[in-house]
Amino acid sequence: MATDLVINIASQFLGKKSFADADKATKKLTGSVKNLGRTLGVTLSAAAVLAYGKASVKAASEDIKAQRLLATTLKNVGLAYAAVDAENFISKMQSQTGVLDDQLRPAFAQLAGVTGSVAKTEKLLALAFDVSSGSTLDYASSVDLLAQAYVGNKKALKQLDLGYTQAELAAMSFDQIQQIITDRFAGSGKAALDTYIGQMSLLAVATNNAKEIIGTSLLGAIDSVGGSDGIDNLGKDIENAAKSLANFIDSIVYLKEQIATIPGAGIVKGVFGAVGNVLGRFSPQRAAELLKEIKGPQPFSQPMSLANQDTGRAALAASKKAELDAIKRNKELAKLANAQAKSAAATAKAKKDQAALDKAALALGKGQDVFNLDAIQIQAALLAKQDEINKLGVSASDQQRLQLANDLVRLTIKQDMLALEDAIANKDVAAATRLAEKLNKDLQILGTLQNQSLKLTDIKNILDAFKPKELIDQNNLNMALLKIEEMLRLLGVANAQSLSKPATSGSLGSGIPVGDYVEPISKEVAAKASISAILEYADAATARANAFADLLDQQNAADEAALQLYMAKLGMTTDTSGALQSFRTAESASKVTVEVIDRTSGLIEVVQNAVQQNNRFGNNLSYAGAI
Amino acid sequence: MPVELEGAVQLRLALKRFAPDLSKQTQIEMATALKTVTSVARGFVPSDNQVLSGWTKQISGAENLVYRPFPKFNSVQAKAGITYSTSPSKPNKNGFVALARILNKSAAGAIYETAGRKNPQGQPNYARKSRVYRTTGEYYKQGAYQLNYYVEPAGGDRKGYNNSANPNAGKQFISNLNSSGQLVNARPKGMVGRPTTKETGRLIYRAWAEDNGRANAAVIKALETSATNFYELTKRAA
């Protein structure tokens, strides 16, 4: 019972339904096993043996074809002497890297065609393996990338994310790029091989090689029996069987002849019938190999002749020539790459210059946008007056200084623009760049000043808006009281003066001569005077009054001129009609300001509170039926 | 109710046959997840002096007994009985095969695990539910005397009852066990189905409940990962 205490985890239902599932799964599994068996060389049945044999034969024939293609390619590029070495290298590399020779041969051919050097090709093949292991590219793509880079097409290098721009890569030689790639992907291939997948790749290579080896042997057998479709149809095709029988006989005859050449063959001659039957089972190729093994090494089978020595020397010479050619080609390619790099740099410089000119033109456009000729002319005219205002020194207001600075910067911008136009017209890039920067800076200054002006105005308005509003401005009231006191004081002085000598226009600064005073005529004197005398006096008084009025007009005109000058300093309009009126109104309004502030909001709150309280205590003010 | 994985048994078989390394790796990953639960469960096993002393005393001459005595508690044995298994089990009566299991194998450990989950106050005391009155012979007619006796049914009817002379024996035993470890129901709350106490216990079920399904998820993930790897392997091999 104790075993009932169990926690089952991740169970599977295998009830009645499971029979069908198991059946399906078994079928699927059988399929997988067959595939696995084919690759791993597991022979599951006679049919599998035949199928594996076919696959092996196919693999071997393709392998032979690839070998011949590679040899032809090497021959065409002048590396025929290296065909054997290339095969050895490929064989070694596939066993070390897990890359099948089916991929290595085309890669070798491609790189050999590009570099013309076996040594360089082998280095690049090894590098391509590291690249493919350390990046997302497959081996063929890596080889293609390196081949393209070798001849100067370096666009594909960006896939490797080497950390260089395309322009930088274009300026580098292939050796530099190769060094960078080597440093970047060093050890990637070895690390990849240490993984489970890497080991499986090596196993796949071994399996494939086994397949090719078996297939090669089978090819010989098939050649011997002359079957078109291999072993499958052997039993079906009687004709093929006959041919195979004939081959068997040929092999026996061949074997007999060969055995006769073996020293002491007389010993075996007696048993040749029995041995021949046994050896007759092998194909002629295999029989030849066996005989070769039986004979052992033949040191003098290939006599050392002058021709052979010459062949070795010729191969060595061809090797040296090919390497020298490869070096020469490499140098030519490097030279071409340098020329391309220089051309690219020149193009880049031209583009950069053009970009600078465009930038300057853009700045000029911006300057023209903000530049207004009329405004400049007006401001230039005002500048002369501002010089006079500057003479005021400390007494000049901030607004005046700001306006003056604005005008100066605008004029500077105009000067910059003219200079920049000249520089662009002269194609002087350096000057244009410098002037464009200066123009931009001046524009920024102008913008800052304008913003500052706006800010000053805004701040003033905001501050005014935040000033506490009182029902009666106490300051204004105080000022009004002071004015009244002043008026009273002046009135008292006037009264005192009325008792003394009246003030003359000269004393008031009106320009009327001092002492020019006509005492008024009393009623008593007028009653006694004649009408003509009174009329004459009236005319004289009128003329005098007119003269006084003229003086006052002159004084007013002078004041107005002064006011206009003052308004011009402030940047206000010189319209005397409205502006002066508004100024006067504002001036008079600034004397005493009495504002009535809406205080009804408090009253509304009081009423609302009262209504709410009434509602709260049940004393609704609404009439019956109200909604 | 464990999670059902279709094809998992076949996967295990295939792994064992064609990718033994991957099979071993899968088993190691599953074992790592299960070991955390069993380690915790072993930590819940009380020491010998924490249970009632009579439960740990060996019976002298037990080898001569013709019946199986009540299993004695031994802390070491109880801990050793808490194990895990990563090989598929036999199908149960409902046709389910468990791909991994956590087991409490020892008898005493099983008693400690489950005591009190059906009867928290101990088994009820035995009481005869009915009497059979038999009268014999002519005496009955005469009313001389009446013979009353109880007839026990075949197989006995004392199973499920307290057979101890101490009417509170079960209660005291469970109370003592509860003092060293509380019963915990590992059945997730809100799970569809009839509530049951079959997943309630003090050792492996408590550890399983405290694990909050992490081990379960790890086992499933290990199986899924191995399935993916095996698929890649076969695809590449093909």
Chain A residues with CB-CB distance to B208 below 8 A: 7
pTM score: 0.33
Asked whether residue A186 carries a pLDDT value surpassing 70, the answer given is yes
pLDDT at B208: 93
Q: What angle do CA A169, A170, A175 make, to 5 degrees?
A: 65
Q: Tell if the CB–CB gap between A200 and B216 is shorter than 8 Å.
A: no
**Mean pLDDT across chain B:** 85
Question: Looking at chain B from residue 47 to 76, which residues have their Cβ under 8 Å from any Cβ of chain A?
Answer: none
A24 chain-B contacts, CB cut-off 8 A = none
CB-based contact B104 A5, cutoff 8 Å: yes
Which of chain A's residues have a Cβ under 8 Å away from the Cβ of B234? 32, 35-36
Residue with tokens 């009246």: A502
| Cα–Cα distance, B204 to B42 (Å, whole number) | 8
Residue pair A124/A143 in contact by the 8 Å Cβ criterion: yes
Burial of A102 (0-12, 13-18, 19+ CB in 10 A): middle
Going by the DSSP 8-state scheme, the letter that residue A77 receives in this structure is T
Residues 177-216 on A with a CB inside 8 Å of B are 197, 200, 204
User: Cα B106 vs. chain centroid, distance in angstroms?
Assistant: 9
Question: Cα–Cα distances in Å, from A70 out to A102, A138, A446?
Answer: 11, 21, 75
Is residue A504 within 8 A of residue A517, CB to CB? The reply is yes
CA-based end-to-end distance of chain A:
81
d(CA B182, CA B200): 10
User: Pick from A20, A13, A22: which is nearest to B2 by CA?
Assistant: A13
Interval A609-616 mean pLDDT: 82
DSSP state of A135: S
CB contact under 8 A, B204 and A5: yes
Of B10, B81, B101, which is closest to A7 when you measure between CB atoms?
B101
Q: Which residues of A209-219 are buried (b: 16+ CB within 10 A; e: fewer)?
A: bebbebbbbbb
Residue B140 has pLDDT above 50, yes or no: yes
A200 to A185, B61, B233: CA distances (angstroms): 22, 63, 9
Name the 3-class secondary structure at B100: strand
- Show the beta-strand stretches assigned E in chain B: 82-85, 96-104, 132-134, 147-149, 184-185, 200-201
Asked which of A123-132, A242-251, A412-421, A522-531 is least confident by mean pLDDT, the reply is A242-251
Q: How far is CA A491 from CA A478, A484, A495, A503, in A?
A: 19, 10, 6, 13
Instruction: Give the closest of B9, B37, B110 to A2, CB-based.
Output: B110
Residue A91 CA, distance from chain mean position:
45
**Would you say the C-alpha torsion B200, B206, B208, B214 has a positive or negative sign?**
positive
Distance, in Å, from the CA atom of A8 to the CA atom of B97, rounded to the nearest integer, reads 9
Q: What is the pLDDT of residues A86-138, one digit of tens each?
A: 888 888 887 778 787 888 888 888 888 888 888 888 888 888 888 888 888 88
Q: Are strands B132-134 and B147-149 parallel, antiparallel or unpaired?
A: antiparallel
Distance from CA of B165 to the nearest CA of A (A): 26
Q: A356 CB contacts (<8 Å, ≥6 apart)?
A: A429, A432, A433, A436
Contacts of A204 in chain B (CB under 8 A): 236-237
For CA atoms A444, A446, A450, A452, the dihedral sign is positive
Residue of B nearest to A16 (CA): B95
* DSSP-assigned states of every residue in A4-41: G-EEEEEEEE-SHHHHHHHHHHHHHHHHHHHHHHHHHT
Confidence class for position A162, pLDDT limits 50, 70, 90: confident
Residues 6+ apart with CB under 8 A from A256: A272, A276
Per mean pLDDT, which range of A405-419, B20-34, B178-192 is the poorest?
A405-419
CB of A180 within 8 A of CB of A161?
Answer: no
ipTM field: 0.81
State residue B94's pLDDT score. 81
- Which SS3 state, helix, strand or coil, does residue B147 take? strand
Residues 6+ apart with CB under 8 A from A52: A38, A41, A43, A211
B231 CB near a chain A CB, below 8 Å? no
* A35–B18 CB contact, under 8 Å: no
Give the A:B interface size as CB pairs under 8 Å: 129
Phi, psi of A161 (to 5 degrees): 50, 60
Query: Distance (Å, rounded) from C-alpha A565 to C-alpha A555?
Result: 15
CB contact under 8 Å between B3 and A10, yes or no, is yes
How far is Cα A318 from Cα A329, in angstroms, rounded to an integer? 16
Supply the mean pLDDT for chain A: 70
Q: With 50 as the cut, is the pLDDT of residue A261 above it?
A: yes
Distance CA B48, CA B55 (A): 9
**C-beta separation of B202 from B44 below 8 A:** yes
Hey, is B101 helix, strand or coil? Answer: strand
Chain B, 77 to 136: residues with Cβ < 8 Å from chain A are 81, 88-89, 91, 94-107, 109-110, 113-114
d(CA B214, CA B237): 34
Confidence of residue A385 (pLDDT cuts 50, 70, 90): low
Nearest CA in chain B to A207: B237
CB B126 within 8 A of CB B91: no
Q: pLDDT tens digits, residue range A320-332?
A: 887 888 788 778 8
For the CA atoms of chain A, what is the radius of gyration? 58
Give me the pLDDT at residue A140, please: 84
CB–CB contact B100 A33 (8 Å): no
With b meaning 16 or more CB within 10 Å and e meaning fewer, what string describes A140-167? Answer: bbbbbbbbebbebebebbeebebebeee
